[in-house]
Structure 1
């Protein structure tokens, strides 16, 4: 009788990890037939050994030698070694000696090690890494380590295995390719067929091979390298496979992002029984015990053991609790609120981001399965109540139209083809028509040239809703791609009011200075009263605020559009680099390596990566490592001649790097070139104006705190003068005046004054700013203008 997963039930749950369990493996046997040891590795940076005790497993040892999360565990049975691979780019090996003790650490990969297997020689391993290479490690009896590098993949090597009969190695990667290698490291064969990343490989008898990946397909390859069978059933990424030889050589289990564990007969291609659904989003890893039991590691931090032996199955209470958790997960996967799946709704983390306008509402999915509605009011998300169904009734009762669970004043039908049905375009009165049009174009992948046509269609058909002029996007406007204000090249804020600026790429309020990191709804977070002193300024201004979730979302969007040859990476690279957005980022070589990889993206997709870079370089140690190994200025300076988005992020990078000695030394070494490029920017958003002014201000702070150099003062003054010729944002004008004011207090102050007063346009602008108050936001600019004119 063929085995079936239908006969398996939960045996026990192993609780101990505080974060995702990314890896599980089966280690040596306990004496006297007491069963086998389970080893689990987690994002919490630890590996745990679980020893059998009756029908349970007890935590017996915690290994904590890695500096970052554990991504893979392999047990080299011939040597009785536990081998753990980590995001810290190392492999730790533990030998059995009154338990397991550290033997050595393998170093050499330059990024996360994400796959391990036994190699062809005794005391040898093969590893796969995000650095696009695999390595065959040989460890002598004396502890000497040598290796052979397998180089050829164009992206991360996610999977490795061996074919002992053929004396070959096999690797699979994020470039969708599978390579065969000789024992000497020579590339022998390329297999193509997967349409997404290859995540796991198993070498089978008769030199056949099993592979799976992000395309949710398991492929069976014969000895000639032909894909002769496909196993379909998973509905999302397949992360791992394992043989269950206790049930037969042809039995394999798999797990993935669809929350399931599945069992297959790889010879017939049939699925053996119904999948076991887990109460977790990701089932990261799977392993099989010699007694046929199956072990899984999940994103909820739990290790689970399943068995078909009734005597080893959990008690009724435990099974009932598991079934309830699974039912909750199943309902979350299918339940809808007003036509929107609950699982598509954001979690509580969505409440960490500011709203885009007063009265904005948001549905949020909570861990207990409930959905609650919140409203943005006076700078806070306020709970409205529970959401139990559609949020507005019918068109007749509410005057609204429901589209994908949200209420709109209008839901237009738009015909884009004579052969295709019309598509929906939702719109609310008071919304910027160009915002709605841009969101519509992005969602349906339409040509950008349609923007004005769609926006004007909305204006014409929305009963006279007032259009918004493109060059004057209001502060509440949100870019449909990033959540920030729409950036229009060459536009400016003609009414000179800068309060309420929203960052055009991350959706955050305008960045605060280093002395106040609170994100507020206005640019002027360091408010200066009209009677206060405006210069000299001695505290460097830095751009610190960041909505990491939006940056990550944007990078994922771009990454999905790339091919491996363009620089597409695994999600772990994105998750590694996003750690650099933390308020006080640590020097993490893995995160830095991920950043370097992403900085090679096409220029059109570079701005979110540059946004992370400007946060990372605030840390002098990070800046120094980055500059010494990859030349910080060599990375950013070329982008000053690029797109407006890249210009903005690079100028912020430069401003932030001036906050420490290492950054000032590098920037000042090429200051004439940098200022020439920045001064060549003659138009841009309020955010770009503020970034340029802040860069100049920070350069002048360095001059006031150190020995002022006449040539630097002259160069900066020229740059500020050029900025004041076109800048209209109040905060940018204010910081420009502070920069000039700083220089008037240095020994080269008279040269600065002479240089400024010789430009009639700038003097007229200063007089205007100092004599015509335009409300509260103007007061400090008015006061600073008067102070600067007095200094002249």
Structure 2
């Protein structure tokens, strides 16, 4: 006789995660105990829970991912815990270890699916980058992989058919593919009407799939859909099975707050759905003793058992049931996101319909809701409305964009003649990074950066921004702190200023002054504008775009012109990581690419400006290659190269080694930079930031009169042509820094002697206090007061 969910009662709740539990799995037996439970969360952690009696205690917390954990797989043969994350990596841990044995890198976006591979030290992963990968790890730690390419959207599900020696993948393109061990496509299954989210191999080489269409599909060995299992009323996120329950028994969970049990052979649902006190039941797993584990959007891992000896005390179960009842009543108050109280009563049926086939939801006196359709001149009853009839984005509350899941997908109007552009965003993501990605993808002017980022902050319900500097705000240009204006204003002509990521002209006057419907909030900060004590750095980067551009240029080169293999490009791109390894191979590859023709150099310089943020890498590059002598000539080159070199110099000043080397060559560098007489707002800001960082070093250490004098001269040359207000503001901060040093009087004398600069300062400080000028107005007044 089949088990039913009616037999299962709460056993225990595992509390420890602070955000959604997106993945659960079971592992090998702990010493002298039963199986362990693994849970992965949106809080970026994976927890290992060990059994103690009928309870589970948190044993280990793994925190090596930079973003939320999307899936967990336990490789029993090796006792490996494998975690997949939104940071595009897979971490592999030995059971009970605290640090990864190895981190698998290669996917270009979120890794959302994992399963054991056909070999003992292998696994298959699925990613938002539209690929799956089969990874093989040797005894010595060498990693090889096969890429499975064919899906047209994110690969949400993977599975291994051990008997058939095949792999299966399912994706947001609604397709299921079969692959052989060599990565060759064998078969395509179609039938789902929305994203495929989970795959479970069954006996007789059959397969069960589920997805966002709220349907489970049973496929036989020949790829025929033999049965559809319906009952869920919204997205189905995950499935699980265990022989302890029975060969044909499968569990499923989803966005309708329920866990359900099925007999796949008969197509019947076994017992009533087990309702949870949370909107999303993200994941499900089974223990060998027949107990069931779920992870939910309320951050709780729950264990359910049909064995009375392992069920929780009556008082605990009562509390759980009350929470479920409360949640159920809240669910019943809305139908498809519409409050019942907002629905019309029966009196609405007295009015004629406006068109044939029009439908209405009508609230009944007993609280139920019925649906009616206008047909042949009258309202005909269709039936009761109990919830969504299938998973939809509207009813789920989850947002899908290009097959990927986001907390928000905004519509951004940038033109009266063009349709809105989709702007996806996840809570916890840096708003400025999301804005930068949006700008690059849609070839928008860089001047939109502040506007888009502030729009995200305003409309994402208090999203958590990455840790802010002490002064309170995040600099959208550099990542440092500053008083944040409402938008970036620029009246500078483009003059061939190339986008450093795409090469497209994105910084011209015409494009940067285009009107946007994106709302902007002005934030007023502290009245203290200098001295500034924290170095600014340019950290924003879309590594994929940089790599694409390098590949494009590399393909244009001949064999004798510096053309390299893709492995060299991949080695170079590793230097864009926030904490790259000190890899001699990557550094040598970078120096090789710096020999490319000047017209193809800007993406390489883009990598360089990120690499030199790290003192050890800077020192090795300078001591081994004297790379400053390589990049200095580019200050006389193309605008894109000038921009990257100035950002590179600004970043290098953030550490002691960089300051020492740059200050010894400061007169030559300032002479070259002063030769630049026009450029984009971004170039102006990069030059101003370079000078600002030079002056910060003078306020934090023993001021050098020669350095102060050289920096002042360079600042004045920039202010003769710069028009961007952010660049002017940073210049004023830099000059203000210098006025606080022992060299201050000399600085003041130099500034006052330049009529153009003084006239511009007075003009800015007399500008009315509107949202675009308040910051620079106050800073200018402070600077003039210091004179």
**TM-score (normalised: structure 2):** 0.54
Secondary structure class of the residue paired with 1:330: helix
Question: How far apart, in 2, do the equivalents of 1:677 and 1:101 lie?
Answer: 42
Counterpart contact for 1:414–1:422, Cα < 8 Å: no
Per-residue displacement from partner, 1:74-95 (whole Å, max 9, x unpaired)? 1112222222222333222223
Secondary structure class of the residue paired with 2:322: helix
Please report how far the alpha carbon of residue 271 of structure 1 lies from its aligned counterpart in structure 2 after TM superposition: 1.3
Per-residue displacement from partner, 1:480-534 (whole Å, max 9, x unpaired)? xxxxxxxxxxxxxxxxxxxxxxxxxxxxxxxxxxxxxxxxxxxxxxxxxxxxxxx
Match of 1:555 in 2: 409
Question: How far apart, in 2, do the equivalents of 1:603 and 1:695 lie?
Answer: 20
Question: How far apart, in 2, do the equivalents of 1:14 and 1:706 lie?
Answer: 61
Secondary structure class of the residue paired with 1:206: helix
Distance 1:261 1:781, change over 3 A: closer
Per-residue displacement from partner, 1:132-177 (whole Å, max 9, x unpaired)? 3222111112222211122333333221111223322112223333
Question: How far apart, in 1, do the equivalents of 2:677 and 2:243 lie?
Answer: 67
Structure 1 residue 283 corresponds to structure 2 residue 277: no
What aligned pairs does 1:626-775 form with structure 2 within 5 A after superposition?
631=501, 636-637=506-507, 640=511, 644-645=515-516, 660=536, 662=538, 665=646, 672=678, 674=680, 706-707=712-713, 716=722, 750=755
Question: How far apart, in 2, do the equivalents of 1:191 and 1:602 lie?
Answer: 36
Question: How far apart, in 2, do the equivalents of 1:57 and 1:661 lie?
Answer: 46
Match of 2:476 in 1: 618
Out of 263, 266, 272, the residue aligned to residue 265 of structure 1 is 263
Match of 2:441 in 1: 600
Match of 1:203 in 2: 201
Secondary structure class of the residue paired with 2:101: strand
Question: How far apart, in 1, do the equivalents of 2:715 and 2:775 lie?
Answer: 29
Question: How far apart, in 1, do the equivalents of 2:250 and 2:25 lie?
Answer: 15
Per-residue displacement from partner, 1:548-592 (whole Å, max 9, x unpaired)? xxxx87625579xxxxxx9989xxx7316x5213xxx8xxxxxx5
Distance 1:309 1:557, change over 3 A: farther
Please report how far the alpha carbon of residue 255 of structure 1 lies from its aligned counterpart in structure 2 after TM superposition: 0.8
Per-residue displacement from partner, 1:246-304 (whole Å, max 9, x unpaired)? 22211110111111101112222221111000111211110011121111111222211
Distance 1:16 1:676, change over 3 A: closer
Distance 1:707 1:154, change over 3 A: farther
Please report how far the alpha carbon of residue 126 of structure 1 lies from its aligned counterpart in structure 2 after TM superposition: 0.8
Please report how far the alpha carbon of residue 404 of structure 1 lies from its aligned counterpart in structure 2 after TM superposition: 6.4
Question: How far apart, in 1, do the equivalents of 2:51 and 2:13 lie?
Answer: 12
Match of 1:574 in 2: 425
Counterpart contact for 1:45–1:67, Cα < 8 Å: yes
Please report how far the alpha carbon of residue 785 of structure 1 lies from its aligned counterpart in structure 2 after TM superposition: 14
Counterpart contact for 1:599–1:610, Cα < 8 Å: no
Distance 1:674 1:189, change over 3 A: farther
Distance 1:594 1:211, change over 3 A: farther
Match of 1:46 in 2: 45
Distance 1:271 1:102, change over 3 A: same
Q: How many residues align?
A: 524
Secondary structure class of the residue paired with 1:165: coil
Question: How far apart, in 2, do the equivalents of 1:96 and 1:702 lie?
Answer: 46
Match of 1:147 in 2: 145
Please report how far the alpha carbon of residue 104 of structure 1 lies from its aligned counterpart in structure 2 after TM superposition: 2.6
Please report how far the alpha carbon of residue 637 of structure 1 lies from its aligned counterpart in structure 2 after TM superposition: 2.9
Distance 1:11 1:648, change over 3 A: closer
Distance 1:420 1:744, change over 3 A: farther
**Unmatched 5+ residue regions in structure 1?**
346-388, 391-402, 406-410, 425-551, 560-565, 586-591, 653-658, 679-693, 721-742, 758-762, 788-792
Question: How far apart, in 2, do the equivalents of 1:281 and 1:611 lie?
Answer: 29
Match of 2:218 in 1: 220
What aligned pairs does 1:178-327 form with structure 2 within 5 A after superposition?
178-327=176-325
Question: How far apart, in 1, do the equivalents of 2:88 and 2:228 lie?
Answer: 33
Counterpart contact for 1:675–1:715, Cα < 8 Å: no
Please report how far the alpha carbon of residue 27 of structure 1 lies from its aligned counterpart in structure 2 after TM superposition: 0.7
Distance 1:597 1:209, change over 3 A: farther
What aligned pairs does 1:443-592 form with structure 2 within 5 A after superposition?
555-556=409-410, 574-575=425-426, 579-581=429-431, 592=433
Question: How far apart, in 1, do the equivalents of 2:502 and 2:24 lie?
Answer: 40
Secondary structure class of the residue paired with 2:409: helix
Match of 1:539 in 2: none
Match of 1:684 in 2: none
Please report how far the alpha carbon of residue 647 of structure 1 lies from its aligned counterpart in structure 2 after TM superposition: 9.2
Question: How far apart, in 1, do the equivalents of 2:180 and 2:776 lie?
Answer: 71
Distance 1:748 1:105, change over 3 A: same
**Unmatched 5+ residue regions in structure 2?**
362-405, 414-419, 458-472, 482-496, 524-534, 540-642, 651-672, 696-710, 726-747, 783-787
Question: How far apart, in 2, do the equivalents of 1:785 and 1:248 lie?
Answer: 76
Secondary structure class of the residue paired with 2:94: strand
Match of 2:25 in 1: 25
Question: How far apart, in 1, do the equivalents of 2:338 and 2:154 lie?
Answer: 29
Question: How far apart, in 2, do the equivalents of 1:318 and 1:164 lie?
Answer: 41
Please report how far the alpha carbon of residue 597 of structure 1 lies from its aligned counterpart in structure 2 after TM superposition: 7.1
Distance 1:324 1:601, change over 3 A: farther
Per mean C-alpha deviation after superposition, the further-off stretch among 611-620 and 40-49 is 611-620
Please report how far the alpha carbon of residue 235 of structure 1 lies from its aligned counterpart in structure 2 after TM superposition: 1.6
Structure 1 residue 156 corresponds to structure 2 residue 150: no
Please report how far the alpha carbon of residue 69 of structure 1 lies from its aligned counterpart in structure 2 after TM superposition: 2.7
Please report how far the alpha carbon of residue 676 of structure 1 lies from its aligned counterpart in structure 2 after TM superposition: 13
Please report how far the alpha carbon of residue 602 of structure 1 lies from its aligned counterpart in structure 2 after TM superposition: 8.4
Question: How far apart, in 2, do the equivalents of 1:301 and 1:756 lie?
Answer: 54
Distance 1:95 1:709, change over 3 A: closer
Please report how far the alpha carbon of residue 316 of structure 1 lies from its aligned counterpart in structure 2 after TM superposition: 1.2
